Amino acid sequence: MKILMVNKFLYNRGGAETYAFELAQYQQSLGYEVQFFGMEDPQNIHFNEVGLYTKNLEFKGFSVSQITYPFRIIYSNEARKKIRKILNNFKPDYVHLNNINFQLTPSIIYEIKSFGIPIIQTLHDFQLVCPNHMMYREHDDVICEDCKGRNYKMCFKNKCIHGSRVKSLLGAIEGRLYYNLKTYEKIDSFISPSRFLKNKMVEFGEDEKNIHVIHNFIKRDYEYAYFEKKDYILYFGRLSVQKGIRTLLEVAKELKDVQFVIAGGGELEEEVVKASQEASNIKFVGFQTGENLINLIGKAKLSVLPTQWYENCPMSILESFMLGTPVIGSEIGGVPELIRNEIDGFLFEPKDKNGLKEAILKALRDDDLLKSMSKSAKERLEDFSIESYHDKLMDIVKPLL
């Protein structure tokens, strides 16, 4: 079987890239042939035989003076022409889309369908119905569903994209254009990593029958590794407002006898550094990857995800489970689909400082409960294996071929 994997970035940048690359690697191990299409970049680690990629375009960094950007962000002739040559050369059985908006643009959907090739798309966020793809306004720190009913002008009014009216206007135009053209109806099936995301898509007007829920998978390289638990609670991930970092820091400052380790990078890094300098029980270790991160997670008594926006299927939870580390998470978005309260972790209300504090103390006061939750966490791995994921994916793909 031949598969063209499409994603704007072809190097390790975030969860969508990890998903696409690891899925492709597994499919290649089964004897499938997988090629990639996305933007050119010196960091790229995945390619296609023709050697064609679109020019690099960073939406976050563009300025109004770059006059061609608005047109390229909404519709890319370049992407359409280049994917045409790849399709002619490779002749895939199906195309697997991931994140394409603003850089590759939905223009490529028309080209793929002109070949009669089936398309599936994994929904990594709310892009189909929310121009800023998050249903969250970072500059206002609020959940936002103002575009419900395809009321995309609210994106412009609220300056939803990076706090910029210009970028928000472009996002609103793109959303309205492709909705009016019914472009996304050309995609044969959508894969949603959470029931929550699917339900939101349907609530905002998408067709339920074309959206299939398959929770994300996790590689199990360290499945049977043994880690001696240390006396600390770990947060790892992006240091941003929507991740609830400020709530976590407030709790950590009050629980002076509990050690907290924070790993990651982001716009709130200075606040985290300052907190670690002011409180001896807060240790900031910066951005971590590979063996260092594995050891941090595996040795933690608990990991915490105090998020306050609509998380989809957070990989930090699955990574913690893989290493036998229970998770305390906010009861929002897709998080409750992963954490079973007091079985493999705890749930608390977003922004509820007292709820987070109580969960931490309850876990730390009961060693037997911690051990039981750690065991239950590891037992969840079969639910999130890549083998199981791929079988479910093929059940969706094969009828389309």
Domains defined for the chain, CATH in brackets: 2-217+385-400 (3.40.50.2000), 233-383 (3.40.50.2000)
CA dihedral 225, 229, 233, 237 (to 10 degrees): -20
- At residue 64, the pLDDT reads 47
- Report pLDDT digits (tens) over 54-93: 998 765 555 444 444 556 778 899 999 999 999 999 999 9
Measured on CA atoms in the order 208, 170, 56, 110, is the torsion positive or negative?
positive
Q: Considering the chain, what percentage of its residues have pLDDT values greater than 90? A: 83
Per-residue pLDDT band for 15 (boundaries 50, 70, 90) equals confident
Distance of CA 227 to the CA centre of its chain: 27
User: What is the pLDDT at residue 103?
Assistant: 87
Residue 241 has pLDDT above 80, yes or no: yes
- Looking at residue 297, what is its pLDDT? 95
Assess whether pLDDT exceeds 60 at residue 110.
yes
> How much is the average pLDDT of 161-173?
88
CA dist., res. 92 & res. 6, Å (int) = 12
User: String of b and e for 44-62 (b: at least 16 CB within 10 Å)?
Assistant: eebebebebbbeebebeeb
| pLDDT number for residue 345 | 96
Percent of the chain having pLDDT more than 70? 95
pLDDT for position 68: 47
| CA separation for the pair 368, 172 (Å, rounded) | 52
In this model, does residue 232 exceed pLDDT 80?
yes
List pLDDT tens digits, range 353-377. Answer: 999 999 999 999 999 999 999 999 9
pLDDT (tens digit per residue) in 33-56: 999 999 999 999 999 999 999 998
pLDDT at 176: 92
324 pLDDT above the threshold of 70: yes
Q: Is residue 224's pLDDT more than 70?
A: no
Q: Of 245 and 13, which is predicted with more confidence?
A: 245
The Cα–Cα gap between 148 and 165 comes to 19
Quickly state the pLDDT bin for 387 (edges 50, 70, 90).
Answer: very high
Task: Specify whether the backbone of 105 is left (phi greater than 0), alpha (psi in -120 to 50) or beta.
Answer: left
Dump pLDDT digits (tens) for 260-285.
999 999 999 999 999 999 999 999 99
The arithmetic mean of pLDDT across residues 161-185, rounded, is 90
Who contacts 304 (Cβ-Cβ below 8 Å, separation ≥6)?
233, 234, 235, 248, 327, 328, 329, 356, 360
